[in-house]
Amino acid sequence: VTVILAAVVSTLVLGLGGDVQSTPQASFSFDYDQSAGTVTVTHTGGADIDINDATVTGATTSFSWDTGVDTDSKVTAGETGTADVDPADQLQVVWNGGEGKSSILASYQVPS
């Protein structure tokens, strides 16, 4: 009991038990429209992600989630965004968790 109590107290004192933000588990699909030169990214399921933490990189122009996302500040299942792309672009949905933490949630290679 003393050892467990000492471990708990030291964890709290040293800050090792602080908030740990884990990478959200979410799925995305990509729909390429070759004639328009666009890719539509759709959140297909899993965790809702704060709009400020979910970015799409690799597009020819800047990517933004469609206006419906702005109403609740979350990217949820069924919501989409569209990006202009060039053949062979590599798109990535990136979660930015702050404090230098980020993870690639999904990626897509535009056909060349």
C-beta of residue 108 within 8 angstroms of C-beta of residue 66: no
**How far lies 45's CA from each of 27, 61, 78, 98, in Å?**
5, 26, 8, 23
The encoded tokens of residue 110 equal 């535009």
The pLDDT tens digits along the chain (112 residues) read 777 777 776 666 665 545 556 889 999 999 999 999 999 999 999 999 988 888 899 988 778 888 666 556 888 899 999 999 999 999 999 999 877 888 999 999 999 8
C-beta of residue 96 within 8 angstroms of C-beta of residue 72: no
